[in-house]
């Protein structure tokens, strides 16, 4: 009886994981990965206010076994600047915390309530909170997936945002972009046109506009089967970095789509792409 029950349970688990994979292929189930993510490796302090607006809240993950000299990671989720919530990305924070890193995952204001650059300003305010909370002793690494990678890039490259928040960009040890848009003009989607100020856009909405010789190092990752972010984004930004001699590491994966790069942070989906392992290798080289 016990054996039959166990087999049935294992079959149910396999079916559940397969169902999740099917949803991921349609791009609509990243937060569901929390259902197959263990509650281990961290202690979470949830719903910390970093501003006075309802969505200016963040979660802080403390690793059970912290790495010495490791930077604090601030992760910005994606969602076309229109959707997403911090609790949906526990699977990312769990993976990084279990590896020994403190992780901050902020919410930020979304369209149509706000437009560019308000969500970037919210990101800068979250960074300011981390600095004021004493989390930048060993520096910070900004990370993001999709629209969140755009936020991480803008904060790392356009120093005006951190300057306005009273944060020195020297605290940013590096940044990591997963499937990010960095050079995406012109625009055709009506919502994106509204968000960024016109079909041809404005250059100051594009991270590539701000590449300079004193930028922090970058890790850029994407999948060659990405149908959401144009394939030119990563090589264009990496080329601009290399042209002026700034350190950039790139990984482009065959057979990997837009969400696979971040889905690989889930403990049960590491085979979706090498994204998590390549990110860990990059982070480990930053330790003091």
Could you tell me the CATH number of the domain that includes residue 120? Answer: 3.40.50.1820
Domain-embedded: residue 14:
no
The predicted structure's pLDDT at residue 5: 38
Average pLDDT in the 91-100 region?
98
Q: Within 13 A of 187's CA, how many CA atoms are on the CB side?
A: 20
- pLDDT tens string 208-254: 999 999 999 999 999 999 999 999 999 999 999 999 999 999 999 99
The predicted structure's pLDDT at residue 23: 53
The predicted structure's pLDDT at residue 3: 36
Domain-embedded: residue 9:
no
Domain-embedded: residue 11:
no
Task: For residue 19, name the pLDDT band (cuts at 50, 70, 90).
Answer: low
Task: For residue 29, name the pLDDT band (cuts at 50, 70, 90).
Answer: confident
Q: Which regions of 86-217 does DSSP assign to beta strands (E)?
A: 103-106, 140-145, 172-178
Q: For residue 154, what are the domain limits?
A: 30-284
- pLDDT tops 60 at residue 14: no
Number of structural domains found in the chain: 1
Mean pLDDT in the chain? Answer: 92
The predicted structure's pLDDT at residue 35: 93
Q: Which regions of the chain does DSSP assign to beta strands (E)?
A: 42-49, 57-63, 72-76, 103-106, 140-145, 172-178, 218-223, 248-253
Domain-embedded: residue 19:
no
Cis peptide before 112 (omega within 30 of 0): yes
Q: Within 13 A of 29's CA, how many CA atoms are on the CB side?
A: 17
Average pLDDT in the 13-25 region?
53
pTM: 0.91
Domain-embedded: residue 3:
no
Domain-embedded: residue 63:
yes
Q: What is the dihedral of CA 77, 81, 82, 83, to 10 degrees?
A: 0
- How far is Cα 90 from Cα 158, in angstroms, rounded to an integer? 28
């Amino acid at each position: 009886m016990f054996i039959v029950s166990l087999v049935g349970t294992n079959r149910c688990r396999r079916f559940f994981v397969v169902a999740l994979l099917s949803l991921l292929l349609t791009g609509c189930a990243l937060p569901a990965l929390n259902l197959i993510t263990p509650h281990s490796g961290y202690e979470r302090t949830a719903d910390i206010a970093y501003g006075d607006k309802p969505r200016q809240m963040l979660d802080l993950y403390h690793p059970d076994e912290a790495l010495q000299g490791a930077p604090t990671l601030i992760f910005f989720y994606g969602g076309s600047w229109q959707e997403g919530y911090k609790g949906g990305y526990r699977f990312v924070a769990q993976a990084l915390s279990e590896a020994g890193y403190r992780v901050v995952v902020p919410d930020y204001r979304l369209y149509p309530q706000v437009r560019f650059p308000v969500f970037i300003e919210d990101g800068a305010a979250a960074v300011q909170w981390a600095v004021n909370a004493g989390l930048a002793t060993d520096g910070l690494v900004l990370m993001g997936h999709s629209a969140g990678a755009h936020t991480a890039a803008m904060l790392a490259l356009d120093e005006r945002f951190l300057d306005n928040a009273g944060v020195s960009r020297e605290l940013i040890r590096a940044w990591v972009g997963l499937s990010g848009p960095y050079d995406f003009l012109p625009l055709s989607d009506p919502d994106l046109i509204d968000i960024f100020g016109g079909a041809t856009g404005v250059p100051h909405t594009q991270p590539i506009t701000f590449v300079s010789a004193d930028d922090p190092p970058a890790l850029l990752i994407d999948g060659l089967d990405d149908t959401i972010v144009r394939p030119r984004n990563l090589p264009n930004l990496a080329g601009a970095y290399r042209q002026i001699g700034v350190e950039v590491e790139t990984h482009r994966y065959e057979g990997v789509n837009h969400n696979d790069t971040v889905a690989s942070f889930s403990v049960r989906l590491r085979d979706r792409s090498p994204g998590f392992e390549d990110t860990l290798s990059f982070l480990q080289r930053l330790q003091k």
